[in-house]
Every structure is written in structure tokens, then in C-alpha cells.
Amino acid sequence: MAQINFSIKDELNAKLEEVSKKMGLAKSDYIKSLIIEDLKKYILRENKK
């Protein structure tokens, strides 16, 4: 289970870097943290289906 969570986290971080660079928000840890929380909630919802 832990390995799955880590791979999801790594994947999300890579995606987040890509998205934040495109949006010019790479320097904003606060915005990153908000996006990460939204992604976590989304993944938890998807995993329950």
C-alpha cells in the first residue's frame, strides 16, 4: 500500500511541477499545497469507485 501511495505522490508531484510551470506558479508553495490537497481528495474519491 505504501508503495502505491508513494508512486501516486511522485506522479502527482511531477504533474504539479508541469502544471505550475505552465501557470507560472512554480514559486508559490501555498498554491501548490492547495492543488495537492485537491488532487488527494480527487484520488481518494476515484479510488472509492
User: Domain extents for the chain?
Assistant: 2-48
pLDDT at 8 (0 to 100): 73
**From residue 24, how far is each of 11, 28, 29 by CA, in Å?**
20, 9, 12
Banded model confidence at residue 1, pLDDT cuts 50, 70, 90: very low
Q: What are phi and psi for residue 27, nearest 5 degrees?
A: -85, -10
In tens, the pLDDT along 17-32 reads: 787 777 665 567 777 7
pLDDT at 12 (0 to 100): 78
Calculate ∠ Cα 10-13-45, nearest 5°: 85
In tens, the pLDDT along 11-20 reads: 778 877 787 7
Q: What does the DSSP assignment read for 8-31? A: HHHHHHHHHHHHHHHHT-TT-HHH
